[in-house]
Amino acid sequence: FDGKHIPSDPTLDWAGNYAHMMGISDTEAFKEVTRLYLMLHADHEGGNVSAHTTHLVGSALSDPYYSYAAGVCGLAGPLHGLANQECLRWLKETQKNLGGKEPTVDILTQYAKDTLASGKVIPGFGHGVLRKTDPRYVILRDFAKEHLPEDKLFKLANVCYEAIPPVLQATGKVKNPWPNVDALSGTCMQYYGLTQEDYYTSVFAVSRAVGCVANLVWSRKMGLPIERPKSMDLDALEAIAKGK
């Protein structure tokens, strides 16, 4: 939008207005995928980095803005909110490495094995809590199958869904080999014009503010005390190191 401020449209809903103000596309389709993205990322139990950091800082009775600003710093980590753009970049790199070949389960199975053998990780698979396919991924996949079935990146991501979990499972090291929401969220957003991957975490932050701050309000209402994690002295650490 050439650096020009786009005024808010009070006739639109929260997500639709945000989509409008991004200046990417003023179509209803882009508003709809933004609504879906913001809804799916709005909240996700209190143990994740951004929610927990917001709660931790807020437990000191810090201003909610300060508290969530701290949470966003955690969200920017590559193992948390930055993961969606990492997944999209991995898909694009994989697409490039295939050299125009139509992705198949056999091809992607070998590609995944070669990736792991080289010491690299495959982003978008696994989850710290879930032990099955992320329900948010399922919703995005259904959306993509309906609205962008012929998109090349979605086709690739869809084959990855079939090929990669068995490869990860075969290693015996992965508790959850199934895809998470990051495996497909960037693919959907780029299809509708949001191709600036570095901005994805900002969209995530706009969404997650709803859940984090709502939890902060409940923490204040219930009068939860300041959070003070237990610490360990050097003797305890030494005992652990020696296997005692």
Asked about 80 being catalytic, the answer comes back as: yes
SS (H, E, C) the chain: CCCCCCCCCCCCCHHHHHHHHHCCCCCHHHHHHHHHHHHHHCCCCCCCHHHHHHHHHHCCCCCHHHHHHHHHHHHCCCCCCCHHHHHHHHHHHHHHHCCCCCCCHHHHHHHHHHHHHCCCCCCCECCCCCCCCCHHHHHHHHHHHHHCCCCHHHHHHHHHHHHHHHHHHHHCCCCCCCECCHHHHHHHHHHCCCCCHHHHHHHHHHHHHHHHHHHHHHHHHCCCCCCCCCCCCHHHHHHHHCCC
Asked about 44 being catalytic, the answer comes back as: no
Asked about 55 being catalytic, the answer comes back as: no
Catalytic position from the list 80, 151, 233, 235: 80
Catalytic position from the list 43, 52, 127, 151: 127
Catalytic position from the list 182, 198, 233, 235: 182
Instruction: Supply the residues annotated as catalytic.
Output: 80, 127, 182
